Structure 1
């Protein structure tokens, strides 16, 4: 029995890129508004951006808004996780935690 390969929408795209996608993207950007406008999710919008020009389209959007491009920007949560800032300090186990811990000899 062959295992089914998971499809993220790139192998068999479910929805083609709408004809007015570039104009709407330049106006709204990659935001919740564009997802609501096309009634789709962020993965589909990201795929449409790549199919419509990718970095060139993002550069045009940056020119429209006047903002800088951030190709290597990561979310604050991911950055903190990588830097180890999300780790919690160890607390002394309570009586109930001690019952769950394995006995160490």
Structure 2
């Protein structure tokens, strides 16, 4: 993959993320804040962006979203690494609780 292809993929991911964020915020603000890990201020800003502004922001060469799963414990819970399929629901619930707690800490 060339550098130009990578930059194009980043731009597309950014635009998709921004459009999804706006859509979720309009539909259910509290759920959007939780699911996207956004602050109130970020949501306020995102909802006011015009399509032209979305395109401009998305066209940068850095990903706008970041991985919220940044530790081995949550990755293990999400992937069921070393666990049976019977525990999958409990593991996903545990991972969701951990990520929700981190969202609250960040907000």
Shorter chain as denominator, the TM-score bin is under 0.3
Q: TM-score, normalised by structure 1?
A: 0.23
- Larger relative contact order (C-alpha < 8 A, sep ≥ 6)? 2
Q: Which has the larger radius of gyration?
A: 1
> Which structure shows the higher helix fraction?
2
